[in-house]
Amino acid sequence: MSVYFHEEDLPEGVLADGPVAIDTETMGLNPLRDRLCVVQISDGKGDEHLVRFGPNSRFDAPVLKAILIDPARLKLFHFGRFDIAAMQQAFGVVTAPVYCTKIASRLVRTYTDRHGLKELVRELLGQDVSKQQQSSYWGAAELTDAQKDYAASDVRFLHAMKAVLDERLVREGRMELAQACFDFLPTRAALDLAGWPETDIFAHS
């Protein structure tokens, strides 16, 4: 298992075919205000790739953008709503098709309100993920080894978690409902960017 670091785009040919796990690191939690700093991506075969974008980046990343919009390649996220919005704001493309482990967890782990990545990895896979670098400065000129390892760990387990969550979704008869939620995620991200981040447009009031 290795972590590879790249600037401004992903090199050609470093990912195997099939689903890829993706996460982002930004300057904050408002995709309209806070710039995208790092995109993490993994094909689930053991390596993770980190792509860093500088403060003056044009976000002209043709290899990465081609993956995001590839209709034949599923993109796995944990809380994909934010990452999809952040990347749409930066790259100007809509990421699809997608799968979100947090949504899947909320549909099948109704016995708990703990749906964070750390809790999911511990329960489903019996492994531990450190969140110490979660609030660190991702806009730094140089990222620390601890930051790189943290970023890589955010995509390291998503393929394995999807397999477990899919079994539970099928068992509970909620796979079709989950898929409908996944299909709606890019639209939910677009609503966030368009000014409806906390408004439920389906609500009565």
How far apart are alpha carbons 101 and 162 in whole angstroms? 6
pLDDT of residue 15: 98
How far apart are alpha carbons 156 and 152 in whole angstroms? 6
pLDDT of residue 205: 85
**CATH architecture for residues 3-194:** 2-Layer Sandwich (3.30)
How far apart are alpha carbons 180 and 86 in whole angstroms? 22
Mean pLDDT by 10 residues, the chain (205 residues): 96 98 97 97 98 97 98 98 98 98 98 97 93 82 93 97 98 98 98 94 91
**Token digits for 15?**
């990912």
pLDDT of residue 156: 97
pLDDT of residue 146: 92
Q: Cα Rg for the chain, rounded, in angstroms?
A: 16
How far apart are alpha carbons 157 and 161 in whole angstroms? 6
Q: What is the pTM of this model?
A: 0.96
Q: Are 41 and 20 in contact (CB under 8 A)?
A: yes
